[in-house]
Amino acid sequence: MSPDFYKALEISGIGIAGVFIFMTIFFFVLIGLDKAFPNEKKPKKAAHPADENSGDE
């Protein structure tokens, strides 16, 4: 095999490990952001129970 073959093997090892490291970091970024900035929008509720029946009907 040519020297390039062995270099390619080495790059592949580092590359596969590298992309997993990157994605794992981004995974924790996603988790961290989701925890730090949870979506707090809740469905709108009527201000007063009586308002629920105050339609135009």
Partner 1 sequence: MELSQLFPAIAGMTWQNLIMIAVGFTLIFLAIKKQYEPTLLLPMGFGAILVNIPFTAALTQIDPATGQALEGALDVFFKAGIATEVFPLLIFVAIGAMIDFSPLFQRPSLLLFGAAAQFGIFVTMVFATAVGFTLKEAASIGIIGAADGPTSIIVSSILAPNLLGPISVAAYSYMALVPIIQPPVVRLLTSRKERMMRMRSDANKKVSKTALILFPILVTVLAGLIAPSSLALIGFLMFGNLIRECGVLNSLSKTAQNELANLVTILLGITIASTMTGDRFVTFDTIKILSLGIFAFVFDTAGGVLFAKAMNLFLKDEKKINPMVGACGISAFPMSARVIHGMGLKEDPHNYLLMPAISANVGGQIGSVIVGGLILMLVPLFA
Q: Where are the alpha helices (DSSP H) in 1-57?
A: 3-36
Q: Is residue 46 at the binding interface for partner 1, with CB under 8 A as the rule?
A: no
Cβ–Cβ < 8 Å for 46, 52: yes
Tokens 């270099």 belong to which residue? 7
- How many residues line the site for partner 1 (CB under 8 A)? 34
Which residues, numbered 10-39, are part of the site for partner 1 (CB under 8 A)?
10-12, 14-16, 18-27, 29-31, 33-34, 36-39
Residues forming contacts to partner 1 in the complex (CB under 8 A) are 1-2, 4-5, 7-12, 14-16, 18-27, 29-31, 33-34, 36-41
